[in-house]
Amino acid sequence: MTTYRIAPSILSADFARLGEEVRNVVAAGADMIHFDVMDNHYVPNLTIGPLVCEAIRPHVQVPIDVHLMVKPVDRIIPDFAKAGANIISFHPEGSEHIDRTLQLIREHGCKAGLVLNPATPLHVLEHVMDKLDLILLMSVNPGYGGQSFIPQTLKKIAAVRKLIDATGRDIMLQVDGGVKIDNIAEIAAAGADTFVAGSAIFGKPDYTAVINAMRAELSKI
């Protein structure tokens, strides 16, 4: 049976009360905290860095899943590892040497992930499957929360599911962007097992109700 994981993105949290927000979302059943890092260079937005990761670390026992939307990416990786990140993923466009960056993440004791934008082809995965703990498929173009899910992602999820299964390895297949209660089941049916959701959770008054409703949808598969 597939283990499904819900990863609330703090991009949509109230940053003035971030400690309380992450504690509440973990109490509501979050399996990990998705931490979106944007640099106003690789993506046209600027968010949070290692200092904020370090600040929330004592507030949560679940893994912190750092999604780096930065270019270049290598220099900042050790800082996030020191700040308590458990998973670090990056976009291939942010690295001159993808294989080296994946090794760098693992050398720092974290799980490593590669992130594919909606238009990034799957061939970037081909020679590095053995170095991946997570593959993140973007279902929106990166940079902002609250965008709509791009339906073409479903086919891509199914294709990556096959690639993962062919390795026989336990690689998480994460989807990020526009994930809601009403589409999580079809995303899971396509082959995803880890779901990032920002505005669907932090935009709502009752985090437990949203996460329970997502799990109820997942239990139908």
Preceding peptide of 44 cis, ω within 30°: no
Interaction partner, residue 160 (ligand DX5, Zn ion, none; CB < 5-8 Å by kind): none
Q: What's the closest the beta carbon of residue 165 comes to ligand DX5, in angstroms? A: 25
Interaction partner, residue 11 (Zn ion, ligand DX5, none; CB < 5-8 Å by kind): ligand DX5
Interaction site with Zn ion (CB under 5 A): 36, 67, 176
- Only one residue has tokens 């279902």, namely 139
Active site residue 36: yes
Please work out, in degrees rounded to the nearest 5, the angle formed at the alpha carbon of residue 54 by the alpha carbons of 52 and 56. 70
**φ/ψ of residue 22, rounded to 5:** -70, -35
Nearest to 194 by CA among 6, 2, 26: 6
- Only one residue has tokens 């390895």, namely 169
Q: Which residue, 105 or 195, is less far from ligand DX5 as judged by CB?
A: 195
What is the C-alpha to C-alpha distance for residues 68 and 193, in angstroms, rounded to an integer? Answer: 20
Q: Which residues 6+ apart lie within 8 Å of 21 measured at CB?
A: 10, 13, 14, 202
> In angstroms, what CA-CA distances link 113 with 4, 67, 110, 171?
17, 9, 10, 9
Q: Which residue, 31 or 103, is less far from ligand DX5 as judged by CB?
A: 31
Q: Which residue, 149 or 167, is less far from Zn ion as judged by CB?
A: 149
Token pair in block for residue 102: 């994946």
Interaction partner, residue 178 (Zn ion, ligand DX5, none; CB < 5-8 Å by kind): ligand DX5
Q: Does 193 bind ligand DX5 (CB under 6 A)?
A: no
Q: Which of 36, 39, 133, 193 is catalytic?
A: 36
Query: Of the listed pieces 17-25, 74-82, 84-92, 191-199, which binds ligand DX5 according to CB under 6 A?
Result: 191-199
Q: Does 113 bind ligand DX5 (CB under 6 A)?
A: no
Active site residue 170: no
Query: Of the listed pieces 80-88, 145-153, 167-175, 213-221, which binds ligand DX5 according to CB under 6 A?
Result: 145-153
- Only one residue has tokens 């997942």, namely 218
Q: Which of 170, 176, 193, 206 is catalytic?
A: 176
What residues are annotated to the active site?
36, 176
